[in-house]
Structure formats: structure tokens, C-alpha cells
Amino acid sequence: MNGVPGRATSRRAESSAPGAAEPGSRPSLEELFRTLVRDELRPFFDMIHQVLERIGRGASDEFLSVPEAAKFAHVGKSTVRGWIKTKRLRAGKAGRLIRIRRSDLNALITERRDDQQPDPETEAAKILERNRPTER
């Protein structure tokens, strides 16, 4: 010991740690394996953590601007604004900017329209009625 208090104690604490190598000696195979596995798996753990955070946060609750919503729905910006104006699509404002939840847009796009669209026979009857010549 070189007379520095605490230094001998720290060496004893390091060497008494399980799996710790002696200073100046080569690390054990177990230490190398642990380090290798830890270093190789860290990116995967980080990726899984990010995915779980996104799922927990609800990626479908991400807010979109009108242009982003239009691009997502493959329609024009005026169509998205029309859906908002007619209350088919809920939207909020962040200052002057309009924001739309992705989940609301997705629900609008995927909703079934069977109950909203009349059957073809009824539509044909309406068209024929409009085009019928009037009698004088």
C-alpha cells in the first residue's frame, strides 16, 4: 500500500465485487460475454422501448395539420376543410393552426357508408323522375 488512505479500501472494494477483474489482469470470459451481450442488445432494447412508448401514447392520437391530413387521406386540402366545416371531421385549433387527430381522420375514412348511400334502384327512380317530361 502506498500510504494513500482510501485507495487500498477502493481496491479491496473493486476486487470483492463479483465478477470484477483484478487491476492489470485480463477480464474473465464471463465479463467479456456480459459486456458483449449488453453492447449488442442495447439498440434492440432502445427500439423496443420506443415502440412501447409509442403504443402507450397511442400513435393514432398524433395530431396532423390540414395538408398532412389531406396527404394521409389522399384528398385535397379543401376536402379536409369541407369535412371540418360540415362537422364530419373533428378538429381543434392550436393558435391559428388547425389540428386533426389521426384517429378521427382514420375513422372518417374507414367508416361504412352503407346506411348513408341510397340503393341504386332508389337513385335511378329519382333521376328518372327529374328527367321526365312535364305535361302541359
Per-chain mean pLDDT for the chain = 77
**Is residue 84 within 8 Å of residue 92, measured between CB atoms?**
no
Return d(Cα 83, Cα 63) in angstroms, integer.
Answer: 16
What is the average pLDDT across 79-106?
A: 91
What's the confidence (pLDDT) of residue 18?
A: 53
Q: Looking up cell 473493486, which residue turns up?
A: 14
> Distances in Å between the alpha carbon of 119 and those of 84, 88, 124, 125?
27, 22, 9, 10
Q: 28-73 pLDDT, tens per residue?
A: 888 888 888 888 888 888 888 887 776 665 555 788 999 999 999 9
Round to whole Å and give the CA distance between 48 and 106.
25
What integer pLDDT is reported at residue 117 of this predicted model? 66
Handedness of CA 38, 39, 42, 44 (dihedral sign): negative
For the record, the C-alpha cell of 51 comes out as 415502440
Shortest CA distance to 15 belongs to which of 32, 29, 28, 34?
Answer: 28
pTM score: 0.42
- Residue 19 CB partners (closer than 8 Å, separation 6+): 28, 30, 31, 34
